[in-house]
Structure 1
């Protein structure tokens, strides 16, 4: 299992900005190891965020996204004290879900 995501969510008037640092190796499947063998692809395929049970962001990623990716998005309707839940699923079936409280 990977390390927890670092999530910061801030309400700014009507808009809530969410910043996420995801801990994941994000292997493209094209790199070779020291022995010359191809390192298998291992990357996040889907990442999504919910606020009060409603999906506010959903993205499909592929092998071209860098290691430990940074994601930022904004949505309307969040207020201080609400929770934002961010989840991802990778191509090996691993999953991770973390949450943050909006400040």
Structure 2
């Protein structure tokens, strides 16, 4: 489980699950400079994966063009109330976080 770096909800309505997630991450492109004029190294989420009841429902490949603290929302079919949904991200420095929630 993540320590508050991912906030996630999964709501079922008429056989469609709507997932909304907010991830805390600096998302640096590697193009900005700090106050001393030195380049801030790239640090961004590369991959976001979501599984529901053990099946992958989304896999997104990202780059440095995504904003700081990214928000993602998507819908899918095939889950039922009470299924466990897990969202995981991996960044370009090898760090990863995940969070799980029950579909309600």
Query: TM-score, normalization: structure 1?
Result: 0.95
Q: What's the Cα RMSD here?
A: 1.3
Tell me how far apart the structure 2 counterparts of residues 84 and 51 of structure 1 sit (CA, whole Å).
4
Tell me how far apart the structure 2 counterparts of residues 25 and 85 of structure 1 sit (CA, whole Å).
22
Q: Does 1:92 align with 2:98?
A: no
Q: Does 1:73 align with 2:80?
A: no
Query: TM-score, normalization: structure 2?
Result: 0.94
Q: CA deviation at 1:80?
A: 1.6
Tell me how far apart the structure 1 counterparts of residues 82 and 100 of structure 2 sit (CA, whole Å).
12
Q: Does 1:102 align with 2:103?
A: yes
Answer whether contact 1:2 1:23 (CA < 8 A) is retained.
no
Runs of 4 or more, structure 1, over 2 Å off, are 1-4
Q: CA deviation at 1:83?
A: 1.0
Q: CA deviation at 1:57?
A: 0.4
Structure 1, unmatched stretches of 5+, are none
Name the counterpart of 1:38: 39
Name the counterpart of 2:16: 15
Tell me how far apart the structure 2 counterparts of residues 3 and 14 of structure 1 sit (CA, whole Å).
29
Q: CA deviation at 1:17?
A: 0.4
Cα displacement string for residues 9-55 of structure 1 (whole angstroms, at most 9, x for unaligned residues): 00011110000001100000001001100000000000010001100
Q: How many residues align?
A: 103
CA 1:2–1:42: 2 relative to 1, 3 Å: farther
Q: CA deviation at 1:97?
A: 1.0
